[in-house]
Amino acid sequence: MQSQDLLNIAQEHGSPVYVYDAHRIVSQYERLTSAFAQAKSLRIHYAVKALSNLSILKLFKQLGAGLDTVSLQEVQLGLAAGVEPHKIIYTPNGVSLEEIEQVAAMGVQINIDNLSILEQFGSKHPTIPVCVRINPHVMAGGNANISVGHIDSKFGISIHQIPHLLRIVENTKMTVNGVHMHTGSDILDIGVFLYATEILFETAAKFKDLEFIDFGSGFKVPYKEGDVATDIEDLGEQLSERFNKFCKDYGRDITLAFEPGKFLVSEAGYFLAKVNVVKQTTSTVFAGIDSGFNHLIRPMLYGSYHGIKNISNENGRNRFYSVVGYICETDTFAQNRQISEITEGDILAFANAGAYCYSMTSNYNSRYRPAEVLWYNGEAHLIRERETMEDILKHQVPVELALEELV
C-alpha cells in the first residue's frame, strides 16, 4: 500500500482508523504454506485472537485455512464466518468444563491443557477425541508475558506429567487425536524451537491414535530495519523433513499443524492517527495523537515497537519526537523517535498494526473503538464502523436512586 492510499482512507473514514492490506495477508499465508510444502499434510489454523474481524476470518476461510480459537465467542465468530467446525481448534486456558462441553458439542476440535479437565471431560465424553496441550518447558519467546512454554508457565500439561496423562486416557478410554505445544510468541532462535519439537515428537510417539501434531506458533516478524525474524523457509524445510520421518516411524501419515497469528496479519496492518498537538517542553517534543492505549496497547503492555511514519510529510526533515496518546495515564507509543517534521493535523501511520492491536482495544476514557478498513484490489472496504455514543450506552442500565430514602 502507498502512503497516499492510507491518507485517502484517513480522509474518507476519519481517524483513528485501522487499515489491513488483504494482499499482504494472502502473500504471508502463501509464504507459510510454501515453506512447509514438503510436509506430508499441512493445516494452518489462523489464530483468531490476533485480529478477529469477521471479514478477516472469511478471507482465511477462502484461503483454505482453519482457525485457532481460545474462547467460545471466538468459535462462534469462526462459525459465523462460515468456517467448518472440524477446521477449528479450541485451545482454552483456565475455562470451565461447561464451556469446553459447549464447544465440543459444536463439532470443534478440543485441545485440553490440564489434567483435571482432561479427566473430567474423558469420564463424561469418552467418545469425543481430544488434543492435549503439552508444556515442553522450553523458554522461547521475546518477552516474559508471551513466553508460555517454560516451567513456570500456567499453560499446558507438563512433560513430566505424561505418565499421569496416559493413565487418565487409559482409565477413561478416551481418544487423544492430537498433541500440541505453543512455546511463545516472537521466537528468535529456530534451534530452540526445533529442540522443543523434538520433545513433542517424543511425547507424540506415546499416543497411538494421532491425526495431527500442532506446533503452535510464535513466528517472529520484523518490526524495524535489520530486525531478526524467524527464518520460516529454513524452519519449514527442516521441520517438514523431520515430520515426514516421524510419520514414517509412526507407521502412517498424520497432519502437521500450525496456528500463527502475528506472522499472517501483523505486517498487513496500519494504524492511522491524527496529531492533535505538538508540545515542546524543556526536555522533549511531544506529538499528541487522537488515540491512546485504548486503541493500541502493545507498546505500553509489553514494550512492543511499532514503526511510525508521518505520511502527511514523508519527505520532511527528520526530528526527534515522543509520540503520546490522550489518555489520562502516561501512554507513550514511542520515545525519542526520529520522524519527519510533524505539524498539528498530520496523519501518523503505525506499522505492524495487524496483530493484537484492534483485538486488544477498549473503551477506556469512554472513547469509541476505531473503524477498520480492508484494502483489496485498490479499494478500501469499511469492515467495521467506528463506535458511537450508542455503543457506549448500549448495555448500561440506568438506575434512579431515591437518595432521601437512603438516609
Ligand X SMILES: Cc1ncc(COP(=O)(O)O)c(C=O)c1O
262 binds ligand X (CB under 6 A): yes
Q: How far apart are CA 317 and CA 116, in angstroms?
A: 60
Query: Stretches 51-59, 162-170, 217-225, 332-340: which one binds ligand X (CB under 6 A)?
Result: 217-225
Could you tell me which residues come within 8 angstroms of residue 163 by beta carbon, excluding any fewer than 6 positions away?
Answer: none
356 is in an annotated binding site: yes
92 binds ligand X (CB under 6 A): no
307 binds ligand X (CB under 6 A): no
Site residues for ligand X, 337-376, by CB under 6 A, read 355
Looking at beta carbons only, is 6 or 187 nearer to ligand X?
187
Put residue 10 in one of left, alpha, beta given phi > 0 → left and psi -120 to 50 → alpha.
alpha
Give the residue carrying C-alpha cell 499443524. 257
Site residues for ligand X, 148-187, by CB under 6 A, read 182, 185
Report angle CA 392, 398, 400 to the nearest 5 degrees: 155
298 is in an annotated binding site: yes
- Could you tell me the smallest distance in angstroms from the CB atom of residue 394 to ligand X? 29
Could you tell me which residues come within 8 angstroms of residue 402 by beta carbon, excluding any fewer than 6 positions away?
Answer: none
Looking at beta carbons only, is 85 or 141 nearer to ligand X?
141
Q: What are phi and psi of 338, to 5 degrees?
A: -80, 120
Secondary structure, 3-state, 116-153: HHHHHHHHHCCCCCEEEEEECCCCCCCCHHHECCCCCC
Looking at beta carbons only, is 266 or 312 nearer to ligand X?
266
Q: Fill in the amino acid letter for 144.
A: A
Q: What is the DSSP letter of 35?
A: H
329 is in an annotated binding site: yes
Please identify which residue in 18, 46, 90, 263 interacts with ligand X, judged by CB under 6 A: 263
CA atoms within 13 A on the CB side of 391: 12
Looking at beta carbons only, is 217 or 240 nearer to ligand X?
217
Q: How far apart are CA 268 and CA 21, in angstroms?
A: 5
Query: Stretches 156-164, 216-224, 324-332, 342-350: which one binds ligand X (CB under 6 A)?
Result: 216-224
- Could you tell me the smallest distance in angstroms from the CB atom of residue 268 to ligand X? 13
Using DSSP's 3-state secondary structure scheme, residue 392 falls into helix
Looking at beta carbons only, is 17 or 134 nearer to ligand X?
134
Looking at beta carbons only, is 85 or 261 nearer to ligand X?
261
Q: How far apart are CA 137 and CA 89, in angstroms?
A: 22
C-alpha cell read off for 152:
513456570
Query: Stretches 15-23, 25-33, 254-262, 397-405: which one binds ligand X (CB under 6 A)?
Result: 254-262
Q: Look at the alpha carbons of 337, 341, 344, 345 in this order and tell me if their dihedral is positive or negative.
A: negative
292 binds ligand X (CB under 6 A): no
Give the residue carrying C-alpha cell 510533524. 342
Query: Stretches 227-235, 258-266, 276-284, 368-376: which one binds ligand X (CB under 6 A)?
Result: 258-266
Beta bridge partners of 349: 272, 309
Q: What is the DSSP letter of 220?
A: -
Looking at beta carbons only, is 235 or 355 nearer to ligand X?
355
**328 flagged as catalytic:** yes
Please identify which residue in 50, 75, 79, 196 interacts with ligand X, judged by CB under 6 A: 50
Q: Which residue is nearest to ligand X (CB)?
A: 261
71 binds ligand X (CB under 6 A): no
217 binds ligand X (CB under 6 A): yes
Choosing from 131, 247, 328, 357, the catalytic residue is 328
Report angle CA 147, 149, 155 to the nearest 5 degrees: 100
Q: What is the set of active-site residues?
A: 328
Q: Which residues bind ligand X (CB under 6 A)?
A: 47, 50, 68, 91, 182, 185, 216-219, 259-263, 355
Q: Which residues are annotated as a binding site?
A: 218, 298, 302, 329, 356
Q: Which residues are annotated as a binding site for substrate?
A: 298, 302, 329, 356
Q: Which residues are annotated as a binding site for pyridoxal 5'-phosphate?
A: 218, 356
